[in-house]
């Protein structure tokens, strides 16, 4: 039987009068690659930021490994297990690539320097960034920065990685290299939740697709169900728009 890692129950988020998330419910099992799709403004990134507690939900529960994390106060320990890769990379500009991948291990996991370096090198190698360990972020392309950000997340040995539109800030020719890295990680069985507007990628890499529309989950299912036989008119209209671009 599949083990549920994260379960979202009745999640709500408002900014003042504006309700962005309205009663969101879904679960992620260990090893799932869940792609969240939907138009801009449908609440996808806000939901991801709530899961990582970068935004405080207005209501509902986020259950991680059986515990409602909104009630536990140890947010840094939770975030070390549920890592996030941002569309804007969020690298430390004053640190080398290697140090960027070591600092979280040293500060949060309390790893010694040698261990942190070894782990960082292992994952930088995996994403093809080992030749750049002494570079600073400003010397890298967007695609290279994003690969470093992915290596940094992997080095924390997380349970789950959240990707927030990981290719939206990249030039078209760099999108492929980052998606390739994410595809390779997916094959290794890491649990991932990916907000993306790359439909072909979502279809190929995920085993669970969630379509959001206007702050609610409109439809969810396997990639086959969502992309070849969507049930809801909103899903069909969204996919028609995308596939015709």
Q: In a 3-state reduction of DSSP, which class is residue 110?
A: coil
**Residue 152 pLDDT more than 70?**
yes
Mean pLDDT confidence for 71-78:
82
At 1, is the pLDDT very low, low, confident or very high (cuts 50, 70, 90)?
low
pLDDT computed for residue 172 by the predictor: 85
Mean pLDDT, to the nearest integer, of 61-80?
87
The vertex-86 CA angle with 163 and 17, nearest 5°, equals 95
How many degrees, rounded to 5, is the angle at CA 156 between CA 75 and CA 33? 90
Look at the block and give the residue holding tokens 């507007």.
197
At 245, the pLDDT band (50, 70, 90 cuts) reads low
Alpha-carbon distance values, 106 to 115, 125, 130, 148, 152 (Å) = 9, 19, 19, 17, 12
Of residues 122 and 88, more confidently modeled: 122
pLDDT value at 11 more than 90: yes
Mean pLDDT to the nearest integer, 62-89: 88
> pLDDT at residue 2 above 80?
no
Q: Is the pLDDT of residue 244 over 70?
A: no
Over range 37-49, report the average pLDDT: 93
Sole residue written with tokens 């299912």 = 221
DSSP result, 20-45: EEEEEEEEEETT-EEEEE--TTSSHH
pTM: 0.93
The confidence score (pLDDT) of residue 49 equals: 94
Does residue 241 surpass a pLDDT of 90?
no
Q: pLDDT, tens digit, for every residue of 171-228?
A: 888 888 899 999 999 989 899 999 999 998 999 999 999 999 999 999 999 999 999 9
CA atoms within 13 A on the CB side of 77: 6
Look at residue 74 in the predicted model and tell me its pLDDT: 80
Mean pLDDT for the stretch of residues 48-65: 93
Confidence of residue 135 (pLDDT cuts 50, 70, 90): very high
Average pLDDT over residues 116-128: 95
Whose tokens are 């992620």? That residue is 28
């Amino acid at each position: 039987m599949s083990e549920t890692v994260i379960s979202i129950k009745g999640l709500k988020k408002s900014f003042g009068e504006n309700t962005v998330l309205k009663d969101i419910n879904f679960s992620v099992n260990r090893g799932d690659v869940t792609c969240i799709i939907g138009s801009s403004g449908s609440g996808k990134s806000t939901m991801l930021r709530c899961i990582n507690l970068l935004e405080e939900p207005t209501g509902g529960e986020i259950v991680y490994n059986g515990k409602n994390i909104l009630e536990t106060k140890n947010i840094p320990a939770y975030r070390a297990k549920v890592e996030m890769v941002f569309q804007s990379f969020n690298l430390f500009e004053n640190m080398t690539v290697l140090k960027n991948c070591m600092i979280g291990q040293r500060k949060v996991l309390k790893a010694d320097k040698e261990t942190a370096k070894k782990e960082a090198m292992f994952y930088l190698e995996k994403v093809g960034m080992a030749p750049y360990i002494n570079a600073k972020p400003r010397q890298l392309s967007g695609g290279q920065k994003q690969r470093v950000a992915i290596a940094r997340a992997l080095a924390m040995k997380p349970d789950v990685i959240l990707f927030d539109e990981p290719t939206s800030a990249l030039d078209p020719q760099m999108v492929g290299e980052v998606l390739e890295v994410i595809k390779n990680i997916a094959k290794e069985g890491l649990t991932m939740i990916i907000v993306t507007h790359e439909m072909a990628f979502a279809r190929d890499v995920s085993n669970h697709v969630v379509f959001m529309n206007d702050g609610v989950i409109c439809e969810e299912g396997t990639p086959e169900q969502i992309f070849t036989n969507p049930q809801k008119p909103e899903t069909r209209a969204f996919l028609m728009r995308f596939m015709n671009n």
